[in-house]
């Protein structure tokens, strides 16, 4: 992120908790989008940190650490079948690079682009700014390949150089596209700083942006609403790489967890964290390392990126048609203990679907301790989480299980076992979407 953003106070996507388990109207659903393992994203961040450590402590434009970062990402994408391209440009008398990667399926005349800048400032390794967005995009792109996705629209990803020098790389890319090629890009979504240590959840406002940007804003708000995470709109203007696309009339959107601006008391009450402290105290500083990442914010934002990519490239979004049941009653999870939370399902004819959505919000200080199962009314067990995630905290995601052999009506249970000592937590809420 190049310079300070001005934050609007518009709030979107808040959900009202139920007072008892009951069927409710379905919130926006993460439809076919997969859950992106945050540990995989962290592995990319570790690679970028190592690259910085080995190249003078940064990954800045014109430095060896930047080119090594490009080479790492391009190598991963080439290995899974992307068509990649390096574009050279000059800024400050030295060569910079943009990397684009296209998934060779879908309508090449209808392109959805997603991008973020890869360069850091010279002062530090730039792990949140913007290793976070770059690594999230990489893992989503790799998931597109691993799931053998065949989208309706063409998917193109971009990693931009010299953003920190004034949006140089992305501007060069857009300005050098022939008008016919620009016309093929139906939307661009930008991800710049998505793991701030004292995070907010900001969605780029469509206000003042090209026609069609409101649809991108709504798509980016939807997964947070499904998670029960309120968002605010932020007026980004011309201060990140989406601006180059907006300047030529391409609809734009994006996500952001905050930089040097101070979190207010109201925002801390809504999102947690520390009021009166910057969203990112290490913004543009040497301490912007892998220790400067809030893993929960990173996890949520990367899942939101996946939702946006799957939804926008499909071209249509079909909301769930079945009833939704939820249990918001807190259940404590002590050390070395197994607990359960029930949901009574009634009024659903026949069997459960082959793609039963299980929404889970578990607050825990070490999710690598947890084994999480869904128990059908007849006692059949469906494991959804088995001590993954290591030292990450909080398990907030949506799983899909094939429960087509199970009668829908009856008492379903979420069973959570804490398999190790020293860390505890709470089942905050869980849900079943039929």
Alpha carbon of 88 to those of 27, 85, 97, 121: distances in Å? 44, 10, 5, 19
Catalytic residue among 29, 102, 139, 163: 163
Q: Which residues have a Cβ under 8 Å from the Cβ of 209 and sit 6 or more positions away?
A: 246, 251, 252, 253
* Rounded Cα distance, 132 and 44, in Å: 9
Beta pairing class for 324-327 and 107-117: unpaired
CB neighbour burial string for 294-312, b if at least 16 within 10 angstroms, e if fewer: bbbbbbbbbbbbbbbbbbb
For residue 281, give the nearest of 259, 257, 296, 255 by alpha carbon.
259
* Rounded Cα distance, 256 and 6, in Å: 12
Residue 24 pairs with which residues in a beta bridge? Answer: 324
- For 2, the 3-state DSSP assignment is coil
Q: What are phi and psi of 242, to 5 degrees?
A: -60, -25
Q: Which residues have a Cβ under 8 Å from the Cβ of 372 and sit 6 or more positions away?
A: 360, 362, 383, 384, 385, 386, 395, 414, 415, 416, 417
Q: Is 163 an active-site residue?
A: yes
Q: What secondary structure does DSSP assign to 106-122, as a single string? A: SEEEEEEEEEEE--B-T
Residue 117 pairs with which residues in a beta bridge? Answer: 160
For residue 1, give the nearest of 246, 288, 207, 267 by alpha carbon.
288
- For 31, the 3-state DSSP assignment is coil
Q: Which residues are catalytic?
A: 163
């Amino acid at each position: 992120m190049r310079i300070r953003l001005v934050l609007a106070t518009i709030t979107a996507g808040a959900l009202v908790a139920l007072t008892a388990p009951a069927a409710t109207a379905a919130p926006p659903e993460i439809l076919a989008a997969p859950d992106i393992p945050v540990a995989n994203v962290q592995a990319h961040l570790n690679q970028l940190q190592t690259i910085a450590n080995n190249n003078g402590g940064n990954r800045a434009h014109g430095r060896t650490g930047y080119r090594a970062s490009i080479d790492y990402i391009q190598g991963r994408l080439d290995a899974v079948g992307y068509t990649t391209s390096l574009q050279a440009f000059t800024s400050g008398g030295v060569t910079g690079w943009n990397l684009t990667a296209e998934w060779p399926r879908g309508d090449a005349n209808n392109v959805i682009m997603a991008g973020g800048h890869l360069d850091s400032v010279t002062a530090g390794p730039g792990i949140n700014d913007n290793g976070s967005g770059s690594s999230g995009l990489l893992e989503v792109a790799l998931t597109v390949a691993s799931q053998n996705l065949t989208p309706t629209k063409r998917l193109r990803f971009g990693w931009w150089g010299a953003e920190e020098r004034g949006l140089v790389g992305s501007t060069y890319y857009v300005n050098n596209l022939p008008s016919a090629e620009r016309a093929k890009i139906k939307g661009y979504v930008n991800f710049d700083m998505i793991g701030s240590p004292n995070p907010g959840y900001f969605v780029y406002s469509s206000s003042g942006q090209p026609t069609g940007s409101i649809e991108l804003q709504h798509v980016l708000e939807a997964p947070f609403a499904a998670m029960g995470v309120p968002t605010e709109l932020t007026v980004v203007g011309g201060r990140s790489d989406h601006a180059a696309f907006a300047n030529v009339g391409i609809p734009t959107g994006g996500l952001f967890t905050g930089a040097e601006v101070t979190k207010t008391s109201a925002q801390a009450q809504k999102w947690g964290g520390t009021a009166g402290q910057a969203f990112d105290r290490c913004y543009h500083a040497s301490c912007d390392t892998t220790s400067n990442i809030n893993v929960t914010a990173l996890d949520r934002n990367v899942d939101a990126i996946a939702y946006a990519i799957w939804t926008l490239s499909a071209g249509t979004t079909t909301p769930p048609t079945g009833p939704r049941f939820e249990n918001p009653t807190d259940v404590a999870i002590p050390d070395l203990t197994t607990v359960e939370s029930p949901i009574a399902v009634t009024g659903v004819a026949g069997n459960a679907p082959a793609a039963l959505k299980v929404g889970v919000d578990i607050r825990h200080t070490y999710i690598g301790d947890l084994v999480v199962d869904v128990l059908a009314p007849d006692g059949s067990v469906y494991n959804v989480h088995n001590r993954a995630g290591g030292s990450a905290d909080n398990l907030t995601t949506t799983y899909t299980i094939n429960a087509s052999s199970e009668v829908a009506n009856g008492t379903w249970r979420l069973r959570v076992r804490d398999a190790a000592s020293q860390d505890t937590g709470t089942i905050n809420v869980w849900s079943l979407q039929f």
